[in-house]
Amino acid sequence: MIKPTPLSGFPEWLPGQQIAEQRVIDIIRSVYELHGFSRLETSAVERVSILAAKGEINKEIYGLGRLQGTPGRWEMALHFDLTVPLARYVAQNSGAVNFPFKRWQIQKVWRGERPQEGRFREFYQADIDVIGDGELPLSFDAELPAVIHEIFQKLGIRAQININNRKVLLGYYQSLGLDETKSADVLREVDKIDKIGADKVREALTKMEIDSQTADKCLALCSLKGAPQEVLAKAKELGTDNEIFQKGLEELAFVADELSHIGSENLIFNLGIVRGLDYYTGTIYETMLPDYPSLGSICSGGRYENLASQFINRKLPGVGISIGLSRLISHLFAQNALDCSRQTPTQVLISWPSEELRPACRAIAAALREQGIPTEIFHEVAALKKQIRYADRKGIPFMLFPHQYTEEAQLVEVKDLKTGEQVQLPLLSWIESQQK
Amino acid sequence: MIKPTPLSGFPEWLPGQQIAEQRVIDIIRSVYELHGFSRLETSAVERVSILAAKGEINKEIYGLGRLQGTPGRWEMALHFDLTVPLARYVAQNSGAVNFPFKRWQIQKVWRGERPQEGRFREFYQADIDVIGDGELPLSFDAELPAVIHEIFQKLGIRAQININNRKVLLGYYQSLGLDETKSADVLREVDKIDKIGADKVREALTKMEIDSQTADKCLALCSLKGAPQEVLAKAKELGTDNEIFQKGLEELAFVADELSHIGSENLIFNLGIVRGLDYYTGTIYETMLPDYPSLGSICSGGRYENLASQFINRKLPGVGISIGLSRLISHLFAQNALDCSRQTPTQVLISWPSEELRPACRAIAAALREQGIPTEIFHEVAALKKQIRYADRKGIPFMLFPHQYTEEAQLVEVKDLKTGEQVQLPLLSWIESQQK
């Protein structure tokens, strides 16, 4: 006998959790689609030459080889994110894609990392990106946080979307006389402010031979955090007419205006977020869940200049955001924050009391399913106790008894297994009561 | 620049096809859930020791290794079907699973086969199985074809479900005096009847030193094919009181009765289907699509004795069926049999004619999305022609003009982009007309 030991870093959920995870995925997808994002699914496998195009995280990539093939050079590997596949897909199908291309992509990705709490080797990401051909309107920068806000509202989870714009930071550093290299260095230090605190950042800036007045100014800027209009006002007070800085503030002001429907408890402008990657060029996002602070940012992204420059000679600017779905869900499971009591989609279990009632059971089941109500008939003639135990264990909410059912009257008895309440009524009346 | 050359055997669909594929998946899943099958998703990666438990198709399995790791023995690999992962999952979580366990599983699987038309290296399967603890009622054998029938009805594709029962064949061979080994040999030959014809099968049987009378009887049995009641009657006429044979006929009779709502053009009993694997012990299924004969069986399965005997010391009989989803979809794409005209879920594109109308656009979009209607506002103020071209290219059915919109009257103009028809009416009236 072979012992089925779990593989560390490859999470699998229990039966009740499976349904809870699907519910979260369905909500995310439905909101993405309500905003006109269309499905993209790419193959899990890419050429190594594609994945290694930037040469950075090679060591985490899982290569593929046939178990009985001759080991040689790796040619194929599993994707480690959904952005490289998107870029490759768009480059490959650039003639078939209509721009701006709005796509959602909810797929697993694989990374050969050392597994630790909340970090997996196989996990789901849920991404949206909008890709323009040559240029991309700013309205999309405002749409992404609106979509994310709607998702967390529907999930019933408080989410705080932090927004910044790299142009504000870089334009300001330019106005302080810092050159590009120095600006990048400063960004890297500022990015650590949440972890190491303002004092340590100041220390680091001083070590770069930035004078203390300039360091203070950098810190003053990245400390601005709060309601969008307030942050914008304070940033303006910092007073510089640097063009890039001003452009950044204009973009932020547009985003603030578009998102005025989101309360300031859920939307803050935070000039201290940087996003590690150099990739981003304008608006950037990080989303925290106040009720789950240890999660950190669970959803981040931003505006970038050119999606697919390594594959195609065509400027494709974009803006994207990604929900760390598996990390989110596993945290919610650990906190008992998702209802996992249902082990089946079945809403109604029809009791099967005797062979004679089989036609009645079948007719009732067909009527319920036709109305979109997931239904099971108990799978054999059995003692009532056994049938109820099955419903209880699987978390089926209703049990239906067909004894009274005739084609004419269509009377049924329905028992609510939570409250114990039992009613007798025509089948159609009960269906209608469920659909309200 | 890196050329993004496609990987052969790893299919990816064009934007319009992506949505069509999702529609098919959604229909399959919804019918599975209407019958109370609950979601299972297992990790794509398994221990090699698990996948190789039966030692058969090792050479097709893709092993995983870190690109920069030291190549050594394969420990992990991608799953090549959904049955082994199911067995492993049930064995591993046998305490958390409630039996009978009804699960659907729609996931990609990977096989390092030589790619050819309709055969992929990465492809979707859509499986359901019911697993019992110790025993499993026969009603499930009848439920699976009912589910499959409902799916193809909803897909609008004619499907012919072929059903047989291994007990009928094996019991009959026993009554003819064939021992187990010989029975298995006969099964293997009969399995080829569709490919090589009855004459060749008779030849093969003769070579096994089966006398010509016995061979004729074997062939007579496996030639029975047609409406369930007819086939049952003819099988009975073959006249043997072998117990296993009788038990098989009884099981078939129950299944026929349960499936009497399916017309005989869609449901046939075919005593000539065998299903290659030794695995199956009772009811077996194969489903052909009469309009796409070259596809062969697109959905097959059957009843088996013991799911997880290699992992756990507990008898877990089951019955399962699997739709070859990617093979089906790629064939339908090739035949232009799926509507791929929509490149977006967006139902309504709201024209954005001027900056002043921005609040009206936002209010209308919010109202539409609240009613579940996927909506985009055009992403910038632009010439009407440009906005209509965007809708046309993406296959968006309706364009909405907000010029008349005030909070009180809520008048909008809506243009049907297919018919050219344009109406002016209150937003809510239009929404209602769409929801009928």
Looking at this predicted complex, what is its ipTM?
Answer: 0.96
Task: Report the pLDDT value the prediction gives residue B56, as an integer from 0 to 100.
Answer: 62
The predicted-structure confidence for B39-51, as pLDDT tens digits, reads as follows: 999 999 999 999 9
Touching B: A residues 125-184, CB under 8 Å = 137, 139-140
Q: What letter would DSSP give residue B241?
A: -
Report whether the peptide linkage leading into residue B100 is cis, meaning its omega lies within 30 degrees of zero. Answer: yes
* Record: fold of A15-334: BirA Bifunctional Protein; domain 2 (3.30.930)
Amino acid at B187: L
What is the C-alpha separation between B152 and B366, in angstroms, rounded? 36
> Does residue A81 carry a pLDDT above 80?
yes
Could you tell me which residues come within 8 angstroms of residue A389 by beta carbon, excluding any fewer than 6 positions away? none
Q: What residue of B is the nearest CA neighbor of A74?
A: B67
- Which residues pair with residue B6 across a beta bridge? none
Do the Cβ atoms of A361 and A402 come closer than 8 Å? Answer: yes
Average pLDDT estimate for B390-419: 96
Which of B298, B377, B309 is CA-nearest to residue B331?
A: B298
pLDDT band at A52 (very low <50, low <70, confident <90, very high): confident
* pLDDT for residue A55: 63
Helix (H, G, I), strand (E, B) or coil at B417: coil
Q: What is the pLDDT of residue B77?
A: 95
What pLDDT digit, counting tens, does each position of B131-157 carry?
999 999 999 999 999 999 999 999 999
How many Å lie between the alpha carbon of B37 and the closest alpha carbon of chain A?
Answer: 7
Helix (H) / strand (E) element for B265: namely: none
Of A12, A11, A19, whose CA–CA distance to A339 is shortest? A19
The answer to whether residue A315 neighbours chain B at the CB level (below 8 Å) is no
Least confident of A67-76, A129-138, A149-158: A67-76
Q: In the predicted model, what is the mean pLDDT of residues A201-224?
A: 92
- Taking only the tens place, the pLDDT of each residue in B263-279 is 989 999 999 999 877 78
* % of chain A residues with pLDDT over 70: 98
B108·A44 Cβ contact <8 A? yes
pLDDT band, very low/low/confident/very high, at A116 (cuts 50, 70, 90): confident
Query: Which one of B67, B97, B100 has the shortest CB-CB distance to A379?
Result: B100
Judged by CB atoms closer than 8 Å, whether chains meet at A343 and B374 is answered as: no
H or E stretch including B134?
A: none
Query: Is pLDDT of B57 > 60?
Result: no
> What's the mean pLDDT in A59-88?
88
Tokens of B125: 């399967």
Q: What is the mean pLDDT of chain B?
A: 94
The runs of H, that is alpha helices, within A191-227 are 193-196, 198-207, 212-222
Mean pLDDT on A369-379: 97
**Higher-confidence position of B435 and A62:** A62
B109: nearest Cα among B148, B77, B133: B77
Q: Does B29 touch chain A (CB under 8 A)?
A: no
Chain B residues in contact with A7 by the CB 8 A cut-off are 43, 45-47, 76
pLDDT (0 to 100) of residue A56:
62
- pLDDT tens digit string along A379-393? 999 999 999 999 999
Q: Give the A window 240-279 contacts with B, CB below 8 Å.
A: 258, 261
Q: Where are the domains of chain B?
A: 348-435
pLDDT at B113: 83
The CA–CA distances, whole Å, from B278 to A386, B275, B324 equal 34, 8, 20
Q: What is the pLDDT of residue B372?
A: 96
- Report the range of poorest mean pLDDT among A126-140, A193-207, A354-368: A193-207
Cα of A334 to nearest chain B Cα, Å: 17
Nearest neighbour of A2 by CB, restricted to B19, B50, B96: B50
Determine whether B230 is exposed, middle or buried from the number of CB atoms within 10 Å of its CB (0-12, 13-18, 19+).
middle
pLDDT of B280 higher than 90: yes
Q: DSSP 3-state assignment of B107? A: strand
B354 touching A, CB under 8 A? Answer: no
Query: What is the mean predicted confidence (pLDDT) over A410-429?
Result: 96
Banded model confidence at residue B307, pLDDT cuts 50, 70, 90: very high
pLDDT tens-digit series, residues A84-98 = 999 999 999 999 999
**Which of B154, B379, B381 to probe by mutation at the A interface, max A CB count within 10 Å?**
B379
A71 contacts B2? CB cut-off 8 A: no
pLDDT, tens digit, for every residue of B342-351? 999 999 999 9
CB B32 within 8 A of CB B143: no
Give the per-residue pLDDT at A193: 86
Give the chain B residue nearest A95 (alpha carbons).
B14
> What is the pLDDT at residue B55?
63
Specify whether the CB–CB gap between B148 and B159 falls below 8 A. yes
Chain-chain contact of A67 with B50 (C-beta, under 8 angstroms): no
CATH number of this structure's domain B348-435: 3.40.50.800
Yes or no: say if A107 and A125 are a contact pair by the CB < 8 Å rule: yes
The C-alpha atoms of residue A312 and residue A305 are separated, in whole angstroms, by 14
**Count of CB atoms within 10 A of residue B344's CB?**
26
The string of pLDDT tens digits covering residues B194-236 is 888 889 999 999 999 899 999 999 999 999 999 999 999 999 9
Peptide bond into A100 cis (omega under 30): yes
**Are A145 and A101 a contacting pair, CB within 8 Å?**
no
Distance from CA of A51 to the nearest CA of B (A): 10
How confident is the model at residue B276, as a pLDDT? Answer: 76
Q: Which residue of B has its CA nearest to A380?
A: B137
> What pLDDT score was predicted for residue A317?
98
Nearest by CB to B66, from A4, A39, A59: name it.
A59
Contact B34 A343 (CB under 8 A): no
Q: Which of B5, B7, B393 sits opposite A98 (nearest CB)?
A: B393
Give the C-alpha separation, B350 to A109, whole Å: 35
Identity of the residue in B15, B43, B121 whose CB atom sits nearest the CB atom of A10: B43
Q: In this predicted structure, what is the pLDDT of residue A114?
A: 83
| Closest residue of chain B to A2, computed from CA coordinates | B311
Mean pLDDT in residue range A41-45: 98
- Cα B186 to its chain centre, rounded Å, is 30
**pLDDT single digits (tens) B363-373:** 999 999 999 99
How big, in percent rounded to 5, are the helix, strand and coil portions of chain B? 40, 20, 40
pLDDT tops 70 at residue B292: yes
* Cβ contact A1–B310 (<8 Å): yes
Structure tokens at B250: 């009884």
| A238-250 per-position pLDDT tens digit | 878 999 999 999 9
* pLDDT tens-digit map of A290-333: 999 999 999 999 999 999 999 999 999 999 999 999 999 999 99
The DSSP-derived string for A96-165 is: TPPSSEEEEEEEEEE--PPPBTTB-SEEEEEEEEEE-SS---THHHHHHHHHHHHHHHHHT---EEEEEE
- With b for 16 or more beta-carbon neighbours within 10 A and e for fewer, the A176-197 pattern comes to bebeeebbebbbebbbebeeee
Does the beta-carbon distance from B311 to A2 stay under 8 Å? yes
Q: Do A41 and B19 touch (CB under 8 A)?
A: no
Structure tokens belonging to residue B370: 């609240």
A contacts of B122 (beta carbons < 8 Å): 43-45
Contacts of A53 in chain B (CB under 8 A): 2
Indicate the average pLDDT of chain A. 94
Judged by CB atoms within 8 Å, which residues 378-397 of A form the interface with B? 379-380, 390, 393-394
